[in-house]
Amino acid sequence: MKQVLIKQGRAVVEEAPAPVVEPGTVLVRVDHSCISAGSELSGIAASGMPLWKRAIKQPKNVKQIVGMVATQGMSRTRSQIEGKLLAGDPIGYSAAGTVLEVGKDIRDIQPGDRVACAGAQCAHHAEIINVPRNLTVTVPDKLDFPAASTVTLGAIALQGVRRAKPTLGETFVVIGLGVLGQLTVQILRANGCRVIGTDLEKSRVLLAAESGMDMAIDSEDGNEVEQVARFTGGIGADGVIITAATPEDTVISTAFQMCRKKGRVVLVGDVGLHLNRADFYEKELDFFISTSYGPGRYDSDYEEKGLDYPVAYVRWTENRNMVEYLRLVDNGKVAVDHLISAIYTIDKAPLAYEDLKDKEKKPLIVLLSYPQSKEDAAPRRVVVNPTARPSEPGLIQIAVVGAGEFARGTHLPNLQILSDRYHLRAVVSRTGHNAKATSSRFGADYATTDYQQILDDAEVDAVLIATRHSLHASMAVAALRAGKHVLVEKPLALTEKELDDIEDFYTSASPVQASKVLLTGFNRRFSPFAQRIQELTRNRSSPMILNYRLNAGYIHLDNWVHTEEGGGRNMGEACHIYDLFTYLSGRKVATVDAQAIASTTGYYGEQDNFVATLTFDDGTVATLTYTALGSTDYPKERLEVFVDGKVIVLDDYKRLTIFGAKVKGIAGKVVDKGHKKELEAFAFAIEKGGEWPIPLWQQVQAMKIALLVEHLIMAKHDRSAESDS
């Protein structure tokens, strides 16, 4: 499919694999999409900005880059940043078209329905889009797609008016008569309000007047505040809605001065916010911010998971605003046809953006139209990479599933280094533009959004799964059943049943199926530091004491890591350490205990701070202190091993120090957690068909320890909650 991307200061049209419908989403063949001149042009301008200028605007990114250099080195960090810039970003957030497929549990929308869609994360300028249910609304029968494709702009304007709470007969000023201002004028008129409008561009003022605006303010006619006072009989405006975009602070000051006592100002646009206390204090004005399309915006539970707000408590959500806007347009209360300046085909999207920059034309709404395929035409979900090099004989044909930052920054660069062992057959990502960009960057044969394509590809020997944690087990089993070797990132599974399914596969597998290697990405055991520790303790005469401290850092509770997709920090990260303990001891675990801190503030999650103590059947005792309480300025990981008169200390996978023995430690310039060695071991096991890099029982044991720790943490949290009540 064709999709618009922004790259280095310009818009381009590229071929990308079409998305696959998911549970809770709707797959839509786009008919028209609406370009938002303000936000999209600013996004394009930002994409062409030099890196140093971006750093000044977003200093937090500088700290992240410094951390990447410290752990990965300068060359790999530079490669990651350059790769991201070259990949480009999708653009667009308002579209309308016809439903192709609906995901699981969606019953109120059917294939063939006409819908309008919103969301900068999904309603892109592309032939086919995959949109969550709460960002999708049906289009009235008589309303055409061009008008319906403005649904996001309409919902934004409508939410701004709702924040102002207008009543019949009130007078409002609209500052800025771009497309949002034009729609705001009409919506206020539909509410029975008198409307005053102002804009530096006279043609826009005239256009708003044609839509029913009662009075136009002309800065050349004298003081704007006085003009409002004269129109309102000296009272002042009941409210002002700012839809302008300017860094100047004068706009907000003027808005306050235009209001009557106890009036209100609503900010929809983007203006300078240096406030002058005298402008609003004596009048006791209310100042409101209008957040995009309405309640639900930026709430992943609402937008991505489909959890609606009860209408009795939240009357107008972003979805209900979208519905109401389309109803207003359908009923003729709001007109948009005269605001549409031009319609370009998707192929000519770059020209559309260039025309938007034209200071003389100053178009309000520009749409993109899309060719309509036959109803039975299947979406194209594979895009071949024309620059891919043919594979050399004997190489392992591997497909990477999940092209997130970790895969792009770690696994894929290592696969390039190991080009004498692997050939990158395919890249799979849920978003087509990411799959395409990643496959091009790393030389894969093709990109796809369809995991089944990989399973059906007879040339694929092995699959590397780096998706969200909740998909690991099911994807691994599917790949094994398809006859592929599997390297699946940790965690191997999130539930007992998922672990049982994996064990059952190998229990009942045919000799050919059982020969397929399964390797969980417990990479730490492959680091040179862990392997050196194992060498030094292999012939110990007594049990060990292992103390591991993981200063994990705080992750906000709405991050996916804490959700059912991530499984929490114990399952998703601490499992690494349970595997390391298993590797160093080489024994079966005997007992598991865990103590957790119950947060009294709700700031920390249930798995953020705990101590897990394990004993192994040789008497070895291992303790993990996992905490988000500390500072990230302090080193993240430290392991102390006490054994046979020696103390072995591992600091952040950069330095190994040995006390009590005449052997030397190890020191490295960058962090080495064994990711490359892990891939080498995986290749060796596939090529030689011998011993697995990690025996299955050890992979399963690490996850069973995690599940036991999880159970103990949750049980103690429940008891703590009961005692508090």
Instruction: Indicate the domain borders of the chain.
Output: 2-150+300-369, 161-289, 382-521, 524-671+691-722
How far apart are the C-alpha atoms of 92 and 84, rounded to whole Å? Answer: 19
Instruction: Tell me the CATH number of domain 524-671+691-722, given options 3.30.450.20, 3.30.870.10, 3.40.50.1000, 3.30.360.10.
Output: 3.30.360.10
Cα–Cα distance, 442 to 389 (Å, whole number):
11
CA atoms within 13 A on the CB side of 687: 14
The reply to whether 524-671+691-722 shares the fold of 161-289 is no
- In single-letter form, the type of residue at position 103 comes to G
The Cβ of residue 181 has, within 10 Å, a number of other Cβ atoms equal to 29
Sheet hosting strand 422-428, strand order edge to edge = 382-384, 446-448, 422-428, 396-401, 462-465, 485-488, 518-520
At 78 the pLDDT is: 64
Quote the crossing angle between the two packed helices 575-585 and 528-537, to the nearest 10°: 30
Regions of the chain short of the pLDDT cut 70? 47-86, 375-376, 717-725
In whole angstroms, give the CA distance from residue 445 to residue 463: 14
Q: How far is CA 658 from CA 8, 308, 532, 561, 650, in A?
A: 50, 57, 11, 35, 9
| 64-92 pLDDT per residue, tens | 666 666 666 666 666 666 666 667 899 99
- Range 161-289: architecture per CATH: 3-Layer(aba) Sandwich (3.40)
H or E element that contains 446:
strand 446-448
Distance separating alpha carbons of residues 144 and 340, to the nearest angstrom: 13
3-state secondary structure of 464: strand
Is the Cβ–Cβ distance between 113 and 97 less than 8 Å? no
Indicate the CATH number for domain 2-150+300-369.
3.90.180.10
> Between the CA of residue 724 and those of 603, 714, 718, 721, what are the distances in Å?
17, 15, 10, 5
Question: What's the Cα-to-Cα distance from 622 to each of 48, 160, 661, rounded to whole Å?
Answer: 52, 57, 22
Instruction: Tell me whether the omega of the peptide bond preceding residue 247 falls within 30 degrees of 0, making it cis.
Output: no
Q: Could you read off the pLDDT of 413-449 as tens digits, one per residue?
A: 999 999 999 999 999 999 999 999 999 999 999 999 9
Helix (H) or strand (E) holding 327: helix 318-330
Q: Do the bridges between strand 446-448 and strand 382-384 make them parallel or antiparallel, or are there none, so unpaired?
A: antiparallel
Look at domain 382-521 and name its CATH class: alpha beta
In whole angstroms, give the CA distance from residue 246 to residue 251: 8
SS3 41: helix
The rounded distance, in Å, linking the Cα atoms of 656 and 36 is 55
- Rounded to whole angstroms, the Cα distance separating 367 from 34 reads 5
pTM of the model: 0.90
